[in-house]
Chain A
Amino acid sequence: MIMDAPATYLPRRGMLPIVIVIALLSLIASIFLGVVDLPVADVLAVFSGKGSPEAQSIILDIRLPRIVTGILAGIQFGIAGLLLQTITRNPLADPSLMGVSQGATLTVTLFLLFTVYIFNPGENTVAELPIAWLPVAGLAGGMIAGGIIYLLAFRLELSPLRITLCGVAIGAVLHALAVGLIAGWGSARSEIILEWLSGSLYARTWDHALFLLPFAPAGLLGLPVIYRPVVMLQFDAQVARSFGLAYRRQFSVVLLVSCALAASAVGAVGPIVFVGLVVPHLARFLAGRHFPLVLPLTVVLGAIFVTLGDLIGRLAGQAEEVPIGVVTAIVGVPVLLVLLRKIP
């Protein structure tokens, strides 16, 4: 939950700096550690512009873009989850559970299905497929799924709980369609789709970071605008409207923002599960009653969760790295269980 704090409230000032320091440490660790053992001196040399071409390439073309992409995606998943949980008044709402990820999966699948006929690549030639367009396809699918949920929610005047269930149901249908398509495929596409499906930062380039660049900052800048409506949307529609909120308009805006953030992130890195679910809970837990901290904590924790998850995946698997989606799921579930025990 997030709130305007009365002036008498002293925020838990210590929490945010601590989390920011952890974020910086994980960022630094991610730059210095990796599958290729680069000596610290070599990494430092890259930043002073005197690195060897090899180190230069590893740091600037491989590690940094995937770290930046991961941070942006993590922030977006975190905010999207927080917004969805707030407006549906459901602690289990999450873009990866509510159709957005599945919509993206389906369009990415369809995209690969058609491009194979158009581009007609040879057997197993992943490289010839226009995978640079995957994020765009994913974004479109996620937004369409969000749009369907939105239309159903308002056409049928659904309660928040039903909106959540409706999202889960739509997600299941879209996912089934995607899996049905994949089942009939050859290996080239399957490889791409499987890697994408597991939620991965592998081989993410500056193009991916650039793709996300409009979304994460726009989302962050937009937060002050939707802040008070989001607080209001925690009430029943009747109460919020009585307080003076244009409920339907503000609900739509917040749903749109969270879908755009989630769908673009899913498009770029695949459905990294549990980040959108766990991060807001962790932020709320750390913030306690100091609601104004929930939002900034969500942003920083989202970045940490994905950066560290990716680092663990890279180090644990060595050459065959473990996709971050797998790491976040494995780490996220116990964290969630512990938090749920603490929440009354």
Chain B
Amino acid sequence: MPLSCSQLSVFYGRRKALSGFGLAMQKGEIRTLIGPNGSGKSTALQALAGLIAPAEGKVTIEDVSVATMSRRAIAKKLAFLPQQPSAPDEMTIAQLVRQGRFAHVGLFRSYDRRDEEAIEWALESTGLSSLADRTLQELSGGERQRAWISAALAQEAGILLLDEPTSFLDIGYQVEVLDLVHRLSRERGVTIIMAIHDINQAIAVSDRISLLEKGELRFDGEPRALAESGLIERTFRVKGRFVQVSPDAPPHFDVELKRLSH
């Protein structure tokens, strides 16, 4: 199994940000984490990436505990893109994407053809080849986000964790990112977990969805089952209903612009 975790609990000081979280990923599976702000999505992703040590439970990559792996060993297997990462403004896209190869080249080995090909592929996949020499400060928000995704792709890891990769993008780029995620999963067998806010996008693109609320896993299953569970309305405290736009389309959540009072 490429990635799994069980009984993960994470504390920030005294506050329990994640409690008893578990999931098991199949190769090439796309899973989205959804849940209200502060429900533990980012925490779960960071724990899965081995960036924060859980108080309880463990994460395993290909049946090896993440806690025992070096950062470089993890980075070869798993790429993680945090929310709104920052880099020096004068860095160009090409230079940023190059850093994605660090896990492979290490401190001394020079970049060989294999590395250059990976970088080229990462730039192409995100449609940035022609912009490679632009500095990050010259880019629009969407381009910058794609540059970071490109850097994560250059890592050529079998597992990709994305924390809100579509936030701050216009709808066109959102769809582009989701398409890219879908292609990576289906064509390259990349296992993907991402946190996103748009429930309809989550339902459309995911094989499975995990719904979090206050650090606890409320649902883990296929999108259709989530639509039928009624959990979305309860968890987000909104009124709405799932509609079937066309026979083969995924269910679409139609929200009423009125907050549920409790």
| Contact surface of A with B, Cβ cutoff 8 Å | 1, 3-8, 89, 224-225, 228-229, 231-232, 234-236, 238-239, 241-247, 289, 291, 344
Contacts and interface: CB of A to CB of B under 8 A. Distances in A.
B90 interface: yes
B72 to A, nearest CB: 4
Contacts of A8: 94, 132-133
Contact of A238 (B76, B82, B108): B82
B91 to A, nearest CB: 7
B117 to A, nearest CB: 13
A238 B82 CA distance: 7
B61 to A, nearest CB: 14
B95 A242 contact: no
A244 B98 contact: no
12 contacts: A89-B88, A224-B108, A234-B87, A236-B86, A239-B82, A239-B85, A242-B80, A244-B74, A244-B102, A246-B72, A289-B135, A291-B95
Interface residues of B, number: 42
B43 interface: no
Contacts of A238: 46, 51, 80, 82, 85
A245 B94 contact: no
A232 B102 contact: yes
Interface string B94-138: 110011101101111001000010010000000000001101010
A251 to B, nearest CB: 12
Contacts of B85: 235-236, 238-239
Contacts of A344: 89, 137
A179 B76 CA distance: 53
A156 B131 CA distance: 40
Nearest to A89: B88
B49 A4 contact: no
Given A231-B99, A241-B71, A289 B88 contact: no
Contact of A6 (B76, B87, B94, B137): B94
A311 to B, nearest CB: 33
A234 B91 CA distance: 10
A228 B102 contact: yes
Given A3-B91, A241-B51, A246-B71, 12 more contacts: A8-B132, A228-B102, A231-B99, A234-B88, A236-B85, A238-B51, A239-B86, A242-B49, A242-B75, A242-B81, A244-B74, A244-B102
